[in-house]
Structure 1
Amino acid sequence: MMNKRFFQILCTTAALTMSLTVAASAATDVQKLNERIEAAHLVLHELMDTPDKGIPDDIAAKATCVAVVPGFKKGAFIVGAQYGQGVVSCRTGHGWSAPVFIQLTGASFGLQAGGQSTDLVLVGTTHDAFERLLHDKVKLGGDASVAAGPVGRSTSASTTEVANAAFLTYSRNKGIFAGIDLTGDVVHQNTDDTTAYYGSDVTYEKILSGGVPPKPGSEHFIRTVNQMFHASGAH
């Protein structure tokens, strides 16, 4: 009887320990994801402090979705590999949505060496851009048209390529903000991080359509997106 009771206590203790470990791990995951969102918020906030070098007002006015990839890594030696983790918010009828998590991957070829890290901002300007983000992955320049975005608040999207692009792409490196060509790069849904953050298997469509309230850790990011892309317009 004593051995049986001891075994029951041992099993209960092990189950409790495992439960606490899982809970602690989940809390750590959410904290890391909040840090990623905060890093994206800082990228946008710094852009707001450079009004003459930012995203043009007419592009901000028609933006349907905004993706920010802080610290996009590009390592290279003959063949370059590119990888980054980021977040996306889309315009809804009552502001901007809670964020979902994405990954951006790509490759470049040529005689190159070394590596660098840069912040990326992708601005979706069409309904198609929103729809494409609901797919598991979207290849820029293949599944959706893409162009390097113009810079300067009063600058207009003057070229046909820019005017017709579903996504306009920008980079910020060492304080310099400029358009960048990301043709061939692939945006992947990061469903693992999105599920870990919201605690249930919610869909990208529900989140990006405004059906999921933002968590406290993402409020700074959403507020900054609202400030930068304040003009009304629906996707």
Structure 2
Amino acid sequence: MKKVFTSLCLLGAVTLSANAATDRATLDSRIQAATSTIKQIMDVPDNAIPDKIAQQATCIGVIPGLKKGAFIFGAEYGRGVVTCRTGQGWSAPVFITLGGGSFGLQLGGQSTDVVLVAVNDKGFQDLLKSKFKIGGDAAASAGPVGRNSQAATDWKLNAELLTYSRSKGLFAGIDLNGASVTQSMDDTKSFYGEGHTFEDILKGNVPVPDDAKPFVRTVAKYFHSVQQ
């Protein structure tokens, strides 16, 4: 009984910390880490997200520096940012948490970066929800890598989200089925100073703050559209 009580206390502490707003300096640092993650992945084209996927991606989510050791009873989480393609370019970022599921075991013990790529409008709509489950609410698969990856021809048929991880320099698709993506509304409000909705931000109705411009420019550089 004592062990169960201790477990519940830890779970409650995790939930409270997930809902607590983060200070602006920490949020800026998270955006900078996400920017570095995208650069490091995409600067090696032969082992990066394939061009066809990059050109047609509707949203990009980056959870930098997620660690297996942070997961307690499947309730801990990684924190990251998302930007989506709009008619005027890429949107200002919003903040998300990634948690649950069995992916803690898949990621191993080292620090791991996670990248989510929405590849159609359904994937974009999923990111407007307050919470959704990968593989349940949103069809997902481990994403292919490489400039000319043959597997890049199949993703349109069976996925709304492509999921990736990067550990010790190795970038590859990962199965995140069962994990949940939740809007970090407190972090987003802390960053913008007012309560913009995720929909307003991701649809491009909110200007990109100066602190987030390097991240948005980096995504725009590597995830340009077919027409550009």
Q: Taking structure 2 as the reference length, what is the TM-score of the superposition?
A: 0.83
Matched, 1:206 2:226: no
Indicate the residue corresponding to 1:133 in structure 2: 127
Indicate the residue corresponding to 1:46 in structure 2: 40
Matched, 1:99 2:102: no
| 1:110 to partner: Cα distance | 10
More deviation in 94-103 or 77-86?
77-86
SS in 2 for 1:72: strand
| 1:164 to partner: Cα distance | 2.2
Change (3 A) 1:158 1:46: closer
Over aligned residue pairs, what C-alpha RMSD do you find? 2.6
Aligned residues: percent identity?
57
**Could you tell me whether the CA contact under 8 Å between 1:61 and 1:229 is conserved in 2?**
yes
Indicate the residue corresponding to 1:59 in structure 2: 53
Indicate the residue corresponding to 1:166 in structure 2: 160
| 1:48 to partner: Cα distance | 2.4
Shift >3 Å, 4+ stretches: 76-82, 109-112, 156-163
CA distance in 1, matches of 2:175, 2:219: 23
Indicate the residue corresponding to 2:220 in structure 1: 226
| 1:223 to partner: Cα distance | 0.5
* Higher strand residue share: 1
Indicate the residue corresponding to 1:68 in structure 2: 62
CA distance in 2, matches of 1:143, 1:171: 21
Larger radius of gyration: 1
* Structure 2: gaps spanning 5 or more residues: 1-20
More deviation in 216-225 or 158-167?
158-167
| 1:73 to partner: Cα distance | 1.9
Q: Taking structure 1 as the reference length, what is the TM-score of the superposition?
A: 0.80
Q: Residues 182-223 of structure 1: CA distance to partner in whole angstroms, max 9, x if unpaired? A: 000000000000000001111000000000011111111000
The one-letter amino acid paired with 1:200 is: E
The one-letter amino acid paired with 1:142 is: G
Aligned residues: 206
- Give the counterpart of 2:210 among 211, 216, 223: 216
SS in 1 for 2:214: helix
- Give the counterpart of 1:180 among 174, 178, 197: 174
The one-letter amino acid paired with 1:186 is: S
SS in 2 for 1:103: strand
**Could you tell me whether the CA contact under 8 Å between 1:103 and 1:190 is conserved in 2?**
yes
